[in-house]
Amino acid sequence: MTDPTPLQTQGQTTFAPCGPTASPLFTVNPDIPLVDALAHSSNLQLIANQLMTDAAMGDDGPHLAWAAAYLGEMAQAIVHDLTIPVAHNSAV
């Protein structure tokens, strides 16, 4: 196995399990620069947080909460994919 390249996404993290086998529907794309991927993850998390605030204060709670959960899952997948080289290097 080759060493993962730091400072970019690895393209190994899957998310959005679906169907009876819970197969992942999406994968983080490889070779996205770290700064761009983190900026996108941060934006996803910001929107998720805003939706959760709206859900807590309004009448559309369940709909907004589900949207926020999906956005949070995407943000988490990006960060996880970026940490693969760190985990690999600490295991060596």
Query: Mean pLDDT across the stretch 19-42?
Result: 97
Pair of tokens at residue 54? 């709206």
Confidence grade of residue 43 (pLDDT, cut at 50, 70, 90): very high
pLDDT of residue 61: 78
Confidence grade of residue 79 (pLDDT, cut at 50, 70, 90): very high
Closest by CA position to 6, among listed 90, 92, 86? 86
Pair of tokens at residue 69? 């959960």
Pair of tokens at residue 31? 């070779």
- For CA atoms 75, 77, 78, 80, the dihedral sign is positive
The answer to whether the beta carbons of residues 30 and 9 sit under 8 Å apart is yes
Confidence grade of residue 2 (pLDDT, cut at 50, 70, 90): low
pTM: 0.84
